Chain A
Amino acid sequence: MIPISVFIAGGWLTLTVLAAVFAPLVAMDPYAGGPDALLPPLSPAHWLGTDDLGRDIFAETLFGTRVSLTVGVTTAIAGAVIGVAVGAAAGWLGGVADAALMRLTELFQTLPRFVLALVTIALFGPGLAKVIVVIGILAWPQTARVVRASVATLRSAPFVEAARVGGMPGIALVLSEILPNVAAPVIVLAALDVATAILLEAGLGFFGLGDPNLVSWGAMLNEAQQYLRTAWWMAVFPGIAIAATVLAFNRLGDALNAATDPRGRGR
């Protein structure tokens, strides 16, 4: 039986995807300021209020889904691809290659992700593509470890041996015989990585290092900081959006984990 919270999480994520796609049809221009600055919520024309430049908070929050989902999903995919490649290579090759790749994984796992991302983007200049590259490059170590462990065990499994004896070359063996067996944990980790990436991106935005030309939830919270005393709504709504989206991805990841792991253990 699927718990109700999974349906709620799925429902919320569907809503955010719809919001990201159809934002221009539903909301007004999030970049257009107006004369009505700092209007409280439930104002006739702006039902979540306006910010210090008279921009509509509802529109900004809706458009903010675009940056969060783009960064979250692309970096999780990048992390999964790199992680599977590194993990499979290490687990399959073994020996020196394994040791070297695992040292590299350990190095990346040790690096303080958030501070490193901050400094890198401060050095190279802000921009959506750079945010994606930096978070993506830092997102793979855990996947690599999990994949390596599975590949190393499966390498000598009877069905793999059978395929090997049948004359299947190494790469095909890994791709068609071994990797399908590690798909489940990789997908679970990817779902959880989306959540982590959204939080990281929000932190970067809060530090003023998001894309200056795009509305993002983190950047909204950065602006809200100066207006906490006068305009609470500037901080409340984007924060709820981040929390709900991260919660939904975490819930989905946990549910997938529970569904695919027969022992029913968390990670």
Chain B
Amino acid sequence: MRAAALGWFVLRRLLHAVPLLFCVVVLNYALIASTPGDPVTVLVGDFPAPAEYKTQVRHDYGLDQPIPVQVARYVTRVLHGDLGYSFANRQPVLSLIAGRLAATLELTATALGFSSLLGIALGVLSARRPDGVLDRAVRGLATAGYALPEFWVGQMLILVFAIWLGWLPSQGAHAIRGVAPGWAGIADGVRHLILPALALSLRYLALIARITRGAMLEVLGADFILAARARGASERAVLIGHALRNAAAPVITVIGFNLGFILAGSALIETVFGWPGIGRLLFDSIGSRDYPTMMGILLVVSATVVAANLATDILHRMLDPRVG
């Protein structure tokens, strides 16, 4: 019964997400088509490309056909995984993005993992004693985390820890002389990861700590917590086993729904730290007017957000069956 209900829920959310994804792709094409000038420039990029190539692209995307045909061709291509060709990089956009995926995943996953773990811990501990010292500190951190532009935090971290103290490197994902073999290479990678991951984390750390604190405070006032305490459960068991378990749903929802923001933040952070990921690729493609790459990245990021929201909804439903 429960499994069947969950199955229906997943199906309903899928039926919801697929049209959303479709709209995102159509919107992407609307953006291309409404650009002032020749849309072929957007599909090729602003380069002195050979005339035959432009004619080919014009034909492939049906730019000489009515708009509905153009949209249909564009959507079909995208759904087949064809995000166009980057003339600037002499590479299909999809493989260009795929080549940068690992670096972005390394950075965003580290930041998300770090901010989730620390944020939940801080939220739980500060809910234990509202208005205590830690609680005030966490609230201050949350306020700052919302207000500081993350790329500026990155610049300040470089200033302090790379330039003034000289403790950590400021640019790239590994030393310029190349990746060293074995542990030395891993240690070098970690040293390069610390500052950008920290800069990217601050905002989510603030958000997750704040949401966890709020959810915990709500749960800690419930009768079953009182009951658990009356039964003599240890403080630790009450906080983690009873309260956090029941506060988990909103926390996970917030983490999932903010995945898109962490990707956007990553674009800025990668630019500040010369991190060789998708964000840096976006920055470079804007600089070189490599439109196909820009549009491809927009599509990939949008699709990731839709998928993350879907996954979050399903996870939320599994944690809290009351969600309809």
Contacts and interface: CB of A to CB of B under 8 A. Distances in A.
A221 interface: yes
B267 interface: yes
A239 B155 contact: yes
Contacts of A181: none
A110 B307 CA distance: 10
A208 B156 contact: no
Q: Which secondary structure dominates where chain A touches chain B?
A: helix
B190 interface: no
A206 B268 contact: yes
A71 interface: no
Contact of A116 (B146, B298, B306): B298
Contacts of A266: 214
Contact of A228 (B42, B147, B159): B159
Nearest to A107: B23
Contacts of A229: 163
Nearest to B41: A123
Interface stretch (B118-126, B180-188, B287-295): B287-295
Interface in A184-239: 195, 199, 202-203, 206-209, 221, 224-225, 228-229, 232, 235-236, 239
B152 A228 contact: no
Contacts of B286: 118, 122, 207-209
B298 A243 contact: no
Contacts, number: 131
Interface string B140-158: 0001101111011001101
Contact of B309 (A110, A195, A224, A235): A110
Nearest to B297: A115
Interface in A25-78: none
- Bin the interface of chain A by size: 35 or more
A225 B23 contact: no
A245 to B, nearest CB: 9
B159 A243 contact: no
Contacts of A116: 298, 302
A146 B265 CA distance: 26
B263 interface: yes
A225 B152 contact: no
A119 B286 CA distance: 8
Interface string A224-267: 11001100100110010011101100110000000000000010
Contacts of A251: 143
Interface in B209-268: 214, 260-261, 263-265, 267-268
A221 B155 contact: yes
A236 B156 contact: yes
Contacts of A232: 159, 163
A107 B271 CA distance: 28
Contact of A118 (B42, B282, B305): B282
A114 B309 CA distance: 17
A122 B159 CA distance: 29
Contacts of A119: 31, 294-295, 297-298
Interface in B1-44: 19-20, 23-24, 27, 31-32, 35-36, 42
Contacts of B271: 206-207
B283 interface: yes
A116 B294 CA distance: 10
Contacts of A155: none
B272 interface: yes
B301 interface: yes
B23 A247 contact: no
Contact of B152 (A118, A122, A235, A247): A235
Contacts of A195: 146-147
A225 B267 contact: no
B23 A115 contact: no
Contacts of B158: 228
B31 A203 contact: no
A207 B265 CA distance: 12
A242 B155 CA distance: 14
Contacts of A243: 144, 147-149, 152
Contact of A110 (B20, B152, B291): B20
A153 interface: no
Contacts of A206: 149, 151, 268, 271
Contacts of A110: 20, 24, 260, 302, 305-306, 309
A235 B148 CA distance: 13
B35 A239 contact: no
A250 B203 CA distance: 14
12 contacts: A103-B19, A111-B24, A112-B302, A114-B265, A115-B282, A119-B31, A123-B294, A199-B149, A221-B155, A239-B156, A243-B149, A251-B143
Given A118-B286, A122-B294, 11 more contacts: A111-B27, A114-B267, A114-B268, A115-B267, A118-B282, A206-B271, A208-B286, A209-B286, A246-B146, A247-B144, A250-B143
Interface of A: 103, 106-107, 110-116, 118-120, 122-125, 195, 199, 202-203, 206-209, 221, 224-225, 228-229, 232, 235-236, 239, 242-244, 246-247, 250-251, 266
Interface of B: 19-20, 23-24, 27, 31-32, 35-36, 42, 143-144, 146-149, 151-152, 155-156, 158-159, 163, 170, 214, 260-261, 263-265, 267-268, 271-272, 282-283, 286-287, 289, 291, 294-295, 297-298, 301-302, 305-306, 309
